A and B are shown apart, each in its own frame.
Chain A
């Protein structure tokens, strides 16, 4: 208990110090929302990995593996493919015009304030759902580490997050991401050999796992269609995640993005694989947990020596915080830049916008915990909330973003129909559709069909709207020589 308090106390103190330091280096809106657009590959890759690696990995993924077996590991291979697609196909065109937010891209590409407002509204609602999942995980960790009620833990983690994110913006998020990533890698790397030793070695681990659940290393533990659509959800959701797309704007140029993505791929997939091995140990050591989400906290508390256990719990906390802080930046910018400034108060002074931006972060940060405290959203397995979020992002944004920079004919009406239709179909499928198929597939297909169908039925957008994203011909101007317009608004 004391060790846990010391470990967490030190970690939180460093995080606060980073927040204060970043505040001193943040002078403009571009600094606050995209770290000035000047991140190198190390920070860029680390922040991609830390943002991607959430409580979904340390609590949720291990929970699903614990319940459903190793075949779920194959789903994670969609992640390197998704980030490769981002680096090779999407980023070269998407970053030709540097914005501060994804909804701002929607307005610039589609010449439509409505597309911007709809994108911002979707981000706000989906973020609240996603952040809830992370905060529930934080509450579980606090309960295991300090014995405090889960609800107190949720409030505590939210407060810590809000302090440094509100103070230092994207810069604080990126620097804390680097620290949190180091803690995650260290925590997982230490936990794997110790957990295997606890079981008696590699050979007994495999024998005992198959003894507990003979389906662990077969394709029968989960329906094939569900595995495929889960992989698709991860792939499309990673490509369309507003938090990750904004990181492309935050990195310096295409070379930096390619290298940053490589680092991100190694870290994200590597960390997932380490966590998967831990889940095998959990199956053997704790075969009758009430929920798979408890597997990782139980390993930290019961398998590892106290200091290392505290370190692993700090790693889980770091994973949660590094994702939530990034989402708070995205949702806060949606609220303050895309809705308040763009629609309500276009003439707001920079000083007022600095306040509005920070208030937006606080608002979207407190809403999920307030909902949880009033009983909304409790009790879901973390990984399934994460999957719903990625499905929503894919259904809303994949088609308007990717087709938006590769198909001149995509119109604002098509983009609006794709976003609204995709999200609606995803929600409907989640509510009433067959559970054997993740809702991302119908949602994504509806979104693509609507974008293409409605675009063809409406007048083509002006060339001036699409020209900035399309190279003029086969011998196009260099992407890295492209003009870098000042971030707006």
Chain B
């Protein structure tokens, strides 16, 4: 695997950063929907999302 590892951050970094962005998006989406659901249950009005 040395040639693959030698490709270094220029190669692997793309995949790592993409996965990090994806994870952050999912966390954001869950947080927003949880907030909206919470508001719906307590009858509070929602913010701009």
Contact = CB atoms under 8 A, between A and B. Distances in A.
Interface string B1-25: 1111011101101110110011001
A73 B7 contact: no
Contact of A77 (B1, B7, B14): B14
B45 A206 contact: no
Interface size class of A (residues with CB under 8 A): 35 or more
B28 A269 contact: no
A266 B22 contact: yes
A52 interface: no
Interface stretch (A120-128, A136-144, A472-480): A472-480
A479 B49 contact: yes
A207 B7 CA distance: 9
Interface in B18-43: 18, 21-22, 25-26, 28-29, 32-33, 36, 39
B8 A254 contact: no
Given A77-B17, A217-B7, A258-B29, A474 B22 contact: no
Contacts of B44: 475
B18 A217 contact: no
B15 to A, nearest CB: 7
A265 B22 CA distance: 8
A202 interface: yes
B32 A273 contact: no
B32 to A, nearest CB: 7
A139 to B, nearest CB: 31
Nearest to A477: B45
Given A203-B3, A206-B3, A258-B32, A70 B10 contact: yes
Contact of B14 (A74, A474, A481): A74
B29 to A, nearest CB: 5
A218 interface: yes
B11 A70 contact: yes
B3 A70 contact: no
A286 interface: no
Contacts of B18: 77, 80, 269, 273
Contacts of B49: 88, 92, 254, 479
Contacts of B14: 70, 73-74, 76-77, 273
A202 B2 CA distance: 11
A258 B45 CA distance: 20
A111 interface: no
B19 to A, nearest CB: 10
Interface string A459-479: 000000000000100111111
Contacts of A259: 29
Interface in A247-275: 254-255, 258-259, 262, 265-266, 269, 273
A88 B35 CA distance: 14
Given A259-B29, A266-B22, A202 B4 contact: yes
Nearest to A71: B10
Contacts of A476: 45-48
A355 interface: no
B48 A93 contact: yes
A407 interface: no
A218 B44 CA distance: 53
B25 A478 contact: no
Contacts of B15: 273
A80 B25 contact: yes
B48 A218 contact: no
Nearest to A208: B3
A427 interface: no
Given A73-B14, A81-B21, A218-B10, A478 B46 contact: yes
A480 B46 CA distance: 9
B36 to A, nearest CB: 8
Given A71-B10, A203-B3, A219-B10, A475 B29 contact: no
A84 interface: yes
Contact of B6 (A76, A206, A262): A206
A70 B7 contact: yes
B22 A210 contact: no
Nearest to A255: B33
Nearest to A204: B3
A219 B7 CA distance: 11
Contacts of A269: 18
Smallest CB-CB A-B distances: 3 pairs: A206-B3, A92-B49, A478-B46
Given A259-B29, A273-B15, 18 more contacts: A70-B7, A70-B10, A70-B11, A70-B14, A77-B14, A93-B48, A202-B4, A203-B1, A217-B11, A262-B26, A471-B48, A474-B47, A475-B47, A476-B46, A478-B39, A478-B46, A479-B46, A479-B48
10 contacts: A70-B14, A77-B21, A80-B21, A84-B25, A202-B1, A206-B6, A217-B7, A217-B11, A476-B48, A478-B36
Interface of B: 1-4, 6-8, 10-11, 13-15, 17-18, 21-22, 25-26, 28-29, 32-33, 36, 39, 44-49
